Amino acid sequence: MENTANHITLTGTLASLPEYSHQNHERRFFRFLLSVERLSGAEDLLPVLAAEDLLMQTDLFQGERFTVDGQIRSFNNREPVGPRLILCVYALAITTTQEPMRNEARLTGTICKPPVCRQTPLGRQITDLCLAVPRLYRRTDYIPCILWGRTALAAADYPTGTELTLTGRLQSRTYLKNLGETSETRTAYELSVSTCERAEEEIF
């Protein structure tokens, strides 16, 4: 059964061949990277998780274009290194295509911690928030989101527990993580929001 509160469609080129990730209830899962180009020409390298039986239905060749339909999932990182929250696209369908690049997501959930409003070095107003999106079997995915401009200013005052429906694109962003005496480059994944609705009222 598809979860209508969490849906994403990506069309991009295969940037890495599937590698074994883990096994759950006798199903084997593999991860690969999909390269999706933005209108600006910048590239988002997005991790995709797919079951082995789904991968066997499609021949995946590096550099070829595919469409992935699925959900944005979050997992706790149990390893001592790396980010505490791991995001990926959980594939429900994979098809070959020649369609243009596409990166469209729609999430419905609740704000799970107070939004943080700030200015970028270029003076743009942005708001960071985390959306708790319900999943089957009483599970929840926690999706970092970034809102811009008027949308950011409106969402900055929303209290924890506010229900929102967001549309946008999943983006990748590299940053430098300070680890005391050392630092390392990491990649963050977040939903760059284009529209935001609170209950029945659209705020952008």
pLDDT of residue 81: 61
pLDDT of residue 79: 66
Alpha-carbon gap, residue 98 to 101, rounded angstroms: 9
Q: How far is CA 126 from CA 2, 34, 58, 117, 152, in A?
A: 31, 27, 40, 6, 5
pTM for the full predicted model: 0.90
pLDDT of residue 115: 97
**CATH 2.40.50.140 is held by the domain 106-202:** yes
Which among 55, 58, 38 is positioned nearest to 46, based on CA atoms? 38
First vs last C-alpha separation in the chain = 30
pLDDT of residue 77: 76
pLDDT of residue 201: 56
CB-CB contact of 167 with 106 (8 Å): yes
Q: Where in the chain is the domain with CATH 2.40.50.140?
A: 6-102, 106-202
Q: Tokens 């990506």 map to which residue?
A: 10
CATH of domain 6-102: 2.40.50.140
Digits of tens for pLDDT over the chain (204 positions)? 456 799 999 999 999 999 999 999 899 999 999 999 998 999 999 999 999 999 999 889 899 999 999 999 998 876 666 567 889 999 999 999 999 999 999 999 999 999 999 998 888 999 999 999 999 888 999 999 999 999 999 999 999 999 999 999 999 988 887 877 888 888 889 999 999 998 665 554
pLDDT of residue 70: 98
Which among 133, 103, 114 is positioned nearest to 194, based on CA atoms? 103
Three-state SS for 91-150 is EEEEEECCCCCEEEEEEEEEECCCCEEEECCCCCEEEEEEEEEEECCCEEEEEEEEEEHH
Alpha-carbon gap, residue 170 to 70, rounded angstroms: 12
pLDDT of residue 111: 97
